[in-house]
A = this chain, B = another copy of it.
Amino acid sequence: MKDEFFKSMNAVISKCLPGNSIDCVVFGYENYQLKTLLLKWKQEDLWSLPGGFIYLDEDLDAAAVRVLKERTGVTSMFLDQFYTFGEKERSKMNSKIISARFSNYTQQDLFGKNNFVEWIDKRFITTGYLALANIEKTLVNPDVFSEKYAWVNVHNLPELLLDHNKIIERALHQLRIQLNYMPIGISLLPEKFTMQDVQKLYEAILQKPLERSNFQRKMLKLDIFKREEKQLTGAANKAPYLYSFNKEKYNELLTRGIGFNY
């Protein structure tokens, strides 16, 4: 039992770079709320970001793609490195968590040669990746430390492992800045959507109300949408048009960018 666990973990760490990790802030959009994917640790009341280590022969960016694939099943999502966190104290809590987590093991179990506990009880530098996912299209698969997952409103988060709250804070800041020079949302919205859907998404990200008709005018002027037929299903009001993204024009705008020109 003990042997099994440590044998498998030692196998993992022997293939990974020591002292470096990645953490993914996966944003999703559901019920008009901006959410992020969290994993709950086995046994403990502790939530954390999905993350992982970098294989010795693997590019850093590739590690992020792999971890995201392992956790969500999705490969083709918006994924962007946004910051590397290297405060000297940031991973200090690892040892506490580890000792609580493995309190039924002996010191020898925990600190034998080439041991996982010893390996992880070091200072780590982690690189944060920002991902945008369509919640309905993901099939979340918790990692070996986790028993379950949840999509949690980013504006109502519990206290997380280590500096993960800070990492999410920074990812959100980055997302808001990105909104100012590139259209985001193709990854967060369903295939077809209304302009109100887009507006609600932007409001959820920016956390401020936007004027409806001007927002619509401005968005449509970007010329990245294709207007579909009228939406028939619906509520007690005039049926809105459905839109989809014109992916060529969307991607072109992504690379060209929008914004302040001199």
Q: A181-B260, A259-B259 are in contact. Are A17 and B125 (CB under 8 A)?
A: yes
Within 8 A of B (CB), among A56-106: 56-61, 63, 81, 83-88
Closest to A127 in B: B84
A262 contacts B by Cβ under 8 Å: yes
Q: With both chains docked as a complex, state the minimum distance between the C-beta of A180 and any C-beta of chain B, in angstroms.
A: 4
Given A58-B88, A60-B87, A61-B86, also A260-B180 (CB < 8 A): yes
- Contact among B83, B86, B177 for A59, CB-based, below 8 A: B86
Assembled-state Cα–Cα distance A125/B16 (Å) = 13
Tally chain A residues at the interface, Cβ within 8 Å: 38
Q: Which of A1-25 contact B (CB under 8 A)?
A: 17-20
Chain A stretch 104-153: residues in CB contact (< 8 A) with chain B: 123, 125, 127
In the bound complex, what is the Cα–Cα distance between A243 and B177 (angstroms)?
29
User: How far is the CB of A63 from the nearest CB of chain B, in Å?
Assistant: 8
Contacts A59-B87, A88-B59 given; does A259 touch B20 at CB 8 Å: no
> B residues within 8 A CB of A58?
88
Asked if A215 and B181 sit within 8 Å, CB to CB, the answer is no
Is there a chain B Cβ closer than 8 Å to A158's Cβ?
Answer: no
- CB–CB B19/A88 < 8 A: no
Question: Could you say which residues of chain B place their CB within 8 Å of the CB of A180?
Answer: 180-181, 257, 259-261
Q: Is A162 an interface residue (CB 8 A)?
A: no
26 residue pairs from A and B, CB less than 8 Å apart: A17-B19, A17-B125, A20-B86, A57-B88, A58-B88, A59-B86, A59-B88, A60-B85, A60-B86, A61-B87, A63-B86, A81-B83, A84-B84, A86-B127, A125-B125, A180-B180, A180-B181, A180-B257, A180-B259, A180-B260, A180-B261, A181-B259, A206-B262, A218-B262, A259-B260, A260-B260
Q: Name 15 extra pairs, CB < 8 A, besides A59-B87, A181-B260, A259-B260.
A: A17-B123, A19-B19, A20-B20, A58-B88, A59-B88, A60-B84, A60-B85, A61-B87, A81-B83, A84-B127, A86-B127, A125-B125, A180-B259, A181-B181, A210-B262
